[in-house]
Amino acid sequence: MTPMQRPTLTQFLIEERRRYPQASGEFNSVILNIAYACRSIAHAVAFGALGQARHDAGAVNVQGESQHALDVLSNETFLRVNEWGGHLAGMVSEELQEPYQIPDRYAKGKYLLVFDPLDGSSNIDVNVSVGSIFSILRAPQTGPVSERDFLVPGIEQVAAGYAIYGPATMLMLSVGNGVNGFTLEPNLGEFILTHPNLRVPPDTREFAINASNNRFWETPVKRYVEECLQGKTGPREKDFNMRWIASLVAEVHRILMRGGVFLYPRDTKDPNTAGRLRLLYEANPIGFIIEQAGGRASTGRQPILGVKPSSLHQRVGFVFGSKNEVERIERYHQSPEEELPSPLFNERGLFRAPV
């Protein structure tokens, strides 16, 4: 099937709107503006070392992380492309301390946009896939937006998705009716539907975790990883492969394409935070996508989409992917710690007796 025989993102959204005759079309405009921003960022990323925005920006963001010039450029692109349409009441970005108010010269709308403009930017210099993550919420009825308006559980998201800038640029989108993948056709400048109705298989033989943090993991996480590493000779009775890219969009994209489980759990490395990833603009939109595709997203203890945010840049432990694996990790967290077998002295553990 040629690109011209497949529906574009615009055509897909029109068909979705026909299912809801009362819809005004504002929502479609928000999605299309986000897609335009992602195309612009993909163009900047594609220049690689030849681009003008590859160096550090010489500043740190609200997270205390070094800003790359592409972080700043991507953030500005999202703001400029989305502020003028008249469909948003405000925005929140990883790169901004406070909510972004729509300038008075533009009309205000009924949606809120939350985004990470360039996730994984620390990997830019080694040419690892990076991306943009976004979430759409309903805005309050009147008045300027405040931090409180954004602090709603992820289950209340209207839509969510991400763009991945890799060998091909793709936009993965859920409007609450499954997950569909669109590939950018560079000659046409259009996102074309190439991966309809994506599903995450319930079982897997792959897991992704930063093993260098092993000494900080809680007992349930250590138990899960140890059992995976024991392979066929352990209690799981099958061999697992371990992956770790250190780019959230690349990790979720692999899982969405072929299954797997990703863990960035709460640990004791920094007792002042409940995790590493940000709830509003990383965990919630990714969790929405994964669950719309039949997977499961969790803190390790509870569904991620049920967590009530307490601040714009709140961090959280995050586990997502193939449903049966995530549920197993949740069960391990729910078991009393004294009932968990020790991986060091268990019969099938590191010190198991030779056969």
Whether 197 has a pLDDT exceeding 90, the answer reads yes
Say what the pLDDT of residue 348 is: 45
Range of lowest pLDDT (122-126, 145-149, 238-242): 122-126
Asked which of 39-48, 79-88, 324-333, 335-344 is least confident by mean pLDDT, the reply is 335-344
Lowest mean pLDDT among 119-133, 233-247, 319-333: 119-133
Closest CA to 87 of 159, 174, 182, 161: 159
Residue 339 clears pLDDT 60, i.e. is over it: no
Q: How confident is the model at residue 182 (pLDDT cuts 50, 70, 90)?
A: very high
- Mean pLDDT of the residues in the chain: 90
Give the residue, 19 or 320, on which the prediction is more confident.
320
Q: What is the pTM of this model?
A: 0.91
Write the pLDDT tens digit of every residue in 81-114.
999 999 999 999 999 999 999 999 999 999 999 9
Q: pLDDT confidence of 354, banded at 50, 70, 90?
A: very low
Of the listed ranges 135-144, 216-225, 255-264, 302-311, the one predicted with least confidence: 135-144
Contact at 8 Å (CB) between 161 and 285? yes
pLDDT of 285-315, one tens digit each? 999 999 999 999 999 999 999 999 999 999 9
State the pLDDT at residue 352. 41
Average pLDDT over residues 146-155: 97
Q: Domains along the chain?
A: 3-195 (3.30.540.10), 206-339 (3.40.190.80)
N-to-C CA span, the chain: 55
pLDDT-based confidence at 335, cuts 50/70/90?
A: confident
